[in-house]
A and B are shown apart, each in its own frame.
Chain A
Amino acid sequence: MPPRRAQDHNYMAVDSDSDDSFIVEDGDGDFGADRTRGAKSKGKGKAVQKGKDKGKGKGKEQPYSWEASYTRSWDAVQEDEGGSLQTAVEDLLARGRRRRLLGPSTAIRRTIIRHLILILDLSASMLDKDMRPSRFDLTLEYARAFITEWFDQNPLGQIGIVGMRAGLGERVCDMSGNPQDVLKHISDRVKLEPNGEPSLQNAIEMARGSMSHLPSHSSREVLVIFGSLTSCDPGNIHDTLDACVKDRIRVSFVSLAAEMKICRDFCVKTGGTFGVALNEGHFKDLLFEGIPPPVQTGAAATAKTGPGNPAADLMQMGFPTRLPDTAPPALCVCHSELKTEGFLCPRCGAKLCDVPTDCDICGLMIVSSSHLARSYHHLFPVKPYEVLMDKSSLTITSPSVCHACALPFRESQQSKTPATAPAEGLSPLGRYRCPDCGNDFCADCDVFVHEVMHVCPSCHDPKPIPQPS
């Protein structure tokens, strides 16, 4: 698993940042081979789009690319004096580093067992093509990536999906802990075809209703991807807001157009985050900000356990027995299908297809130990590596290669003009040092350790790697 994920992750990290520098201009099809993910759905989407346009006639939907808005993708990238894009790329990298540094490095109480309702705007305004290929396709694509990544980082969480379409809140997918289940529901684009106006109140009420039964130790979160600038509600949305505050539901918004007062109110009052996407890449960044588990606020913690004792909250979990391929086939309790593989609930012995889940028979939370371990890193994150600014911090014994990948450090060209580089948080020597074990890592490994591995390799295995001769 790690190698594939590593690629995928690197790829995404670069992609998310470089999207603003590379926006496919052509509205008419070929969206570039570099984006293989979701290419299929785009093709399909296009076909549907065209058919619809013909049916409705032109003038409604901006059918021609020359009627679309001007995209000046080249404005986003600034060349340096030499005409090189190196500075721009480095700037993007540095931005990622700085963001990470902002995060707290000490242990913080976070919610590990998360429940999230993703609300997708499925109103007509999602057909707008100001984000390529369209807001809707992009949202689906990113939502899929988001769900995959979210489950990866929060294996104990559950996600449900609600759509806002034609003034109603539609349940797209029930709360589930299985990424495949959730992804299946948003894989079919045609079923989710945008239409009508959105209703924030209906959707949030529905999300609230489906989370009302949850125990107090789990977080209740709502993430709304909102492309519209209006909300047609049956009642007073401020009542819903108050109810959300009361139920401690954290509502976050990613808006695709502009800041709406009510959206911001929701975020401010419920402790969520609010963001407006500038472009495709930024949209993804904003969405993915929702992946790390939220910090548990003092108020929420003390409300449950009383002041002075914020840690006493035990819960039951079961570690299942995994059945081998060779086991005799039996019916599973979740789908009633005859299967050989599966997991057995340690309490009631029911056969389950996937973990983590709640046992359908006895309600015990079934997790595997590896899931629990993966969730753990949020509580004890890897400390940010120190940036080495000049040679003075190097000793003769300092290795000349990265401790992790064993490649020699690349010294940046920028070191000639140190005026700009230090402020950016980039090391001119290309070295980043772990504050605990004191080993140096290259920039790529720094990103990989912090964003994918979540554990410093040398702290756990202090043996030095052999130097290449």
Chain B
Amino acid sequence: MKFNIDDLPVVFPYDRIYPEQWEYMCDLKRTLDASGHCVLEMPSGTGKTVSLLSLIVSYQQFYPTKRKLIYCSRTVPEIEKALAELKRLMAYRIEHAETEEEKENERNFTGLGLTSRKNLCLHPEVSKEKKGRVVDARCRDLTSAAACEKGRVNPGSVPLCDWHEGLNELEPGTQLGRGIWTLSDVEQHGREKGLCPYFAIRRMMPFVNVVIYSFHYLLDPKVAEQVSKELSKDSIVVFDEAHNIDNVCIESLSIDLTRPMLDSAARSVSRLGEKIEEIKVTDASKLQDEYAKLVEGLQEADAARDEDAFMSNPVLPDDLLKEAIPGNIRKAEHFVAFLKRFVEYLKTRMRVLHVVAETPLSFLQHLKDITFIERRPLKFCAERLQSLVRTLSLTQLDEYYALQKVASFATLVATYEKVGFLLILEPFETESSTVPNPIFHFTCLDPSLAIKPVFERFSSVVITSGTISPLDMYPKMLQFTPVVQETYAMTLSRNSFLPLIITRGSDQVAISSRFEVRNDPAVVRNFGSILIEYSKIVPDGIVAFFPSYLYMESIVAAWNDMGILNEVWKHKLIFVETPDANETSIALENYRRACDNGRGAILLSVARGKVSEGIDFDHNYGRAVIMFGVPYQYTESRILKARLEYLRDAYRIRESEFLGFDAMRNAAQCVGRVLRGKTDWGLMVFADKRFARSDKRAKLPRWINQYITDTAANLSTDMALVLSKLFMRTISQSSTENQTGISLWTLEDVLKAQEKRKALEIDMGMQAERDEEIDEDEYGDSGLPDEILAEMEVDP
């Protein structure tokens, strides 16, 4: 259908629209007009992606500036889903365009998705590799500039990738035709035409209107520099499923080193040395050339990088690019010796048997005292290593992986010496273990560092997710000011989900995963009885979440001893998520099968695990989700402690506030897994007495919170069961009625729907005006504490 938001004609590819989708699009439009950033929370399963795409594409097509859309999602299936949605949207737009000119205009609209080489590779041998790193390395061997040159001059001397070669014959921008290409489309096309899908997409990137890829391509500085540097400044950036964006930011700037990695790095260093000796004999001029180039400085080499053309890279600040590489590492053999020293130093540091936490500054001081390595050369370590690798035209780069990590570690340490980072050495894996297994963490404490270039460079950044409450936390943590900050309620024709908070067992013992009581037999038994009872009354699939693997293991062992598992087996099969991805996917497959054929199954999994993040349990795959305990992070972790301290000092976010926020967003993420659409239904059971506290409840997304009634907020197991049974019966009931309701609704006259839309439009226009007023009020009134604001939102 077509309608106008203000002056913008929007094409929406469905005949019906949910009210929240409309509101969402209005707010989005406001953000784009204002060229600002926004945070939007929209319930899962209400068509967030399609409303986003349909508004932005309408915006792009209507205004002559043709701002590019960069859409970041989390997983490959999600990227593929978004692409398919975009494809459908464009097909609809072409079909409904009025004039031939417009049609042509729509046809020229191009959209692409990008994912790793591993997912796209067509090379018969390379694509068989299991590890992404190995695929990358082998691909580089076959496609690097040096190899290509050699191969072309002297065919057959060096193995080359035929698919990659096929691309060179094509003009830039014509590697793929216009239109929308899903990943599988590109792969299919590549197979037919003998083109490499990965490089085809990479080379098409500057010419397309929409790019859909993973967060890392924009946030991880190492990758962003290669992939995203050509994106123009007025692009619209969307982070979908962005509830974990702060963690992604932090991960992209953190490095962990272990003993085996250092050993491997040391081996690589000596191999580098040998290689240099070798090349000195055969081709000394090469090294000489490199040296000359380095003398001139990186600035010359990167003259093309004018400041506006690419994103500033936090790993390589501007001043670094202008400086020349310091003299003591310019010569290859010197640099190798330098690396050797540094690796040896790190190794000695790892011999310490107590925990060390220090700032980069003190680390550098200590380094200088012991090995006389200065800060400046360290800073250039990564760049210098790259240059050397290029000069030596090394192959099989994956073997140098550890060394590359050490080099980027060195660069990061030397670059961010001041704030927001911490070095932590943990000699033992767990508190109780006696065999040392040291890990050297270089952790970023400030998520805003990695995302800063994105906010600075792009004028409109949209952060959106199904569960991103409380909204004001994200601007605070990521250091930006949003123009619009909105959460939407869910309009449902029936209460299709029932959130329940169970605070005590049938025997009135309070249940909680608090550390002091979590292994109390009474609590374990009560958790068990919740599982048994729900396995009896819930059809098909149940997903149960625990705060951690450790706790899950201990509680499942205890349940086994108590005979609880035997009782559950009578009603449902039990599957368990493990840290191993393959095992988990087999468990999931069988879980799905058991749900399909009526046997019923329970999946025991972990909040923050793979299951809780990326996997949907729609319809019969998840009729109930049970949260056993509040999924707090492991608070004894030194990294977390450091981060909390930093947040308190730098942004005045209290520790408890952040921990509560983090726990609740994960809980919301977990329970949100079961509800993936408006026809879906399920139970959401929060089993912990702490969920009943209003500060916790206020942190849940509004669409969940609005359905927690006071009676359902403080239940014992048996009371919850009565409510659940009733819910199960009534919802199974109305689903039959509801289906006729829906079909009648779709059969309604199109005109009537249009009228309804018009009325809604006027209504919404007024609403939007009012919203703006309220917004202004909110900004004027910054004195209100967050808790009160949050509660005010909940109240109506």
CB contact under 8 A between A260 and B540, given known A229-B600, A276-B732: yes
- Per the 8 Å Cβ criterion, residues 79-135 of A in contact with B are 124-125, 130
Nearest B residue (CB) for A238: B597
Surface stretch bound by A, among B25-33, B76-84, B513-521, B723-731: B723-731
| Distance between Cα atoms of A219 and B730 in the complex (Å) | 31
Q: How far is the CB of A62 from chain B (nearest CB, A)?
A: 10
CB contact under 8 A between A260 and B736, given known A69-B725, A230-B571, A231-B598: no
The one of A124, A130, A200, A236 that contacts B725, using a Cβ cutoff of 8 Å: A130
| Distance between Cα atoms of A130 and B721 in the complex (Å) | 11
Decide if B718 touches A257 in the complex (CB within 8 Å).
no
Decide if A263 touches B733 in the complex (CB within 8 Å).
no
| B742 CB-CB contact with A under 8 Å | no
| A48 CB-CB contact with B under 8 Å | no
| B539 CB-CB contact with A under 8 Å | yes
Q: How far is the CB of A64 from chain B (nearest CB, A)?
A: 13
| A261 CB-CB contact with B under 8 Å | yes
Decide if A255 touches B732 in the complex (CB within 8 Å).
yes
- Per the 8 Å Cβ criterion, residues 208-234 of A in contact with B are 229-233
The one of A124, A130, A238, A258 that contacts B732, using a Cβ cutoff of 8 Å: A258
| Distance between Cα atoms of A70 and B722 in the complex (Å) | 7
Contacts of B733 in A (CB 8 A): 276, 278
| A197 CB-CB contact with B under 8 Å | yes
| Distance between Cα atoms of A261 and B619 in the complex (Å) | 9
Decide if A278 touches B729 in the complex (CB within 8 Å).
yes
Contacts of A230 in B (CB 8 A): 571-572, 598-600
Q: How far is the CB of A98 from chain B (nearest CB, A)?
A: 13
Decide if B596 touches A229 in the complex (CB within 8 Å).
no
Contacts of B322 in A (CB 8 A): none
- Per the 8 Å Cβ criterion, residues 604-655 of B in contact with A are 619-620, 623
CB contact under 8 A between A262 and B732, given known A69-B722, A197-B570, A229-B539: no
Decide if B539 touches A259 in the complex (CB within 8 Å).
yes
| A275 CB-CB contact with B under 8 Å | yes
Q: How many A-B contacts if CB must be within 8 Å?
A: 78
Contacts of B731 in A (CB 8 A): 259
| Distance between Cα atoms of A260 and B599 in the complex (Å) | 10
| A142 CB-CB contact with B under 8 Å | no
Decide if A229 touches B571 in the complex (CB within 8 Å).
yes
Contacts of A274 in B (CB 8 A): 736
Decide if A258 touches B729 in the complex (CB within 8 Å).
yes
| A345 CB-CB contact with B under 8 Å | no
Contacts of A278 in B (CB 8 A): 729-730, 733
Decide if B598 touches A69 in the complex (CB within 8 Å).
no
| Distance between Cα atoms of A274 and B536 in the complex (Å) | 20
Q: How far is the CB of B157 from chain A (nearest CB, A)?
A: 56
| Distance between Cα atoms of A257 and B540 in the complex (Å) | 12
| B735 CB-CB contact with A under 8 Å | yes
Contacts of A237 in B (CB 8 A): 597-598
| Distance between Cα atoms of A233 and B595 in the complex (Å) | 13
The one of A197, A229, A236, A255 that contacts B538, using a Cβ cutoff of 8 Å: A229
Decide if A277 touches B597 in the complex (CB within 8 Å).
no
- Per the 8 Å Cβ criterion, residues 236-265 of A in contact with B are 236-238, 255, 257-263
| B537 CB-CB contact with A under 8 Å | yes
- Per the 8 Å Cβ criterion, residues 536-574 of B in contact with A are 536-540, 570-572
The one of B570, B597, B721 that contacts A231, using a Cβ cutoff of 8 Å: B597
Q: Is the interface of B mostly helix, strand, loop or mixed?
A: helix
CB contact under 8 A between A258 and B728, given known A69-B721, A229-B539: yes
The one of A124, A258, A262, A275 that contacts B597, using a Cβ cutoff of 8 Å: A262
Q: How far is the CB of A135 from chain B (nearest CB, A)?
A: 12
Contacts of A231 in B (CB 8 A): 597-599
| Distance between Cα atoms of A276 and B734 in the complex (Å) | 10
Q: How far is the CB of A103 from chain B (nearest CB, A)?
A: 15
The one of A130, A236, A238, A257 that contacts B539, using a Cβ cutoff of 8 Å: A257
Annotate B705-742 by CB proximity to A: 1 below 8 A, 0 otherwise: 00000000000001101100100111111011000000
| Distance between Cα atoms of A277 and B726 in the complex (Å) | 11
Contacts of A232 in B (CB 8 A): 599
Decide if A236 touches B732 in the complex (CB within 8 Å).
no
Contacts of A259 in B (CB 8 A): 539, 728, 731-732, 735
Nearest A residue (CB) for B719: A70
| Distance between Cα atoms of A255 and B600 in the complex (Å) | 15
Contacts of A200 in B (CB 8 A): 598
Decide if A262 touches B596 in the complex (CB within 8 Å).
yes
Contacts of A70 in B (CB 8 A): 719, 722
| Distance between Cα atoms of A275 and B729 in the complex (Å) | 10
CB contact under 8 A between A258 and B599, given known A69-B718, A69-B721, A130-B725: no
| Distance between Cα atoms of A403 and B574 in the complex (Å) | 65
Q: How far is the CB of A329 from chain B (nearest CB, A)?
A: 53
Q: How far is the CB of B51 from chain A (nearest CB, A)?
A: 29
Decide if A233 touches B597 in the complex (CB within 8 Å).
yes
- Per the 8 Å Cβ criterion, residues 403-433 of A in contact with B are none
Q: How far is the CB of B681 from chain A (nearest CB, A)?
A: 9
Contacts of B729 in A (CB 8 A): 257-258, 276-278
Annotate B412-443 by CB proximity to A: 1 below 8 A, 0 otherwise: 00000000000000000000000000000000
Contacts of A236 in B (CB 8 A): 597
- Per the 8 Å Cβ criterion, residues 4-57 of A in contact with B are none
Contacts of A258 in B (CB 8 A): 537-539, 623, 728-729, 732
Q: How far is the CB of B510 from chain A (nearest CB, A)?
A: 20
| Distance between Cα atoms of A70 and B572 in the complex (Å) | 26
Decide if B598 touches A262 in the complex (CB within 8 Å).
yes
Decide if B536 touches A125 in the complex (CB within 8 Å).
yes
Decide if A263 touches B598 in the complex (CB within 8 Å).
yes
Contacts of A257 in B (CB 8 A): 537, 539, 725, 728-729
Q: Residues of B at under 8 Å CB distance from A?
A: 536-540, 570-572, 595-600, 619-620, 623, 718-719, 721-722, 725, 728-733, 735-736
Besides A229-B540, A260-B540, A261-B596, 8 more A-B contacts (Cβ < 8 Å) are A124-B570, A197-B570, A200-B598, A229-B571, A237-B598, A258-B539, A278-B729, A278-B733
Q: Can you identify 28 A-B contacts, CB atoms within 8 angstroms?
A: A69-B721, A69-B725, A200-B598, A229-B536, A229-B537, A229-B571, A230-B598, A230-B600, A231-B599, A237-B597, A237-B598, A238-B597, A257-B537, A257-B539, A257-B729, A258-B537, A259-B735, A260-B540, A260-B620, A261-B619, A261-B620, A262-B596, A263-B598, A275-B736, A276-B728, A276-B732, A277-B729, A278-B729
3 closest cross-chain pairs (CB), A and B? A261-B620, A262-B598, A259-B732
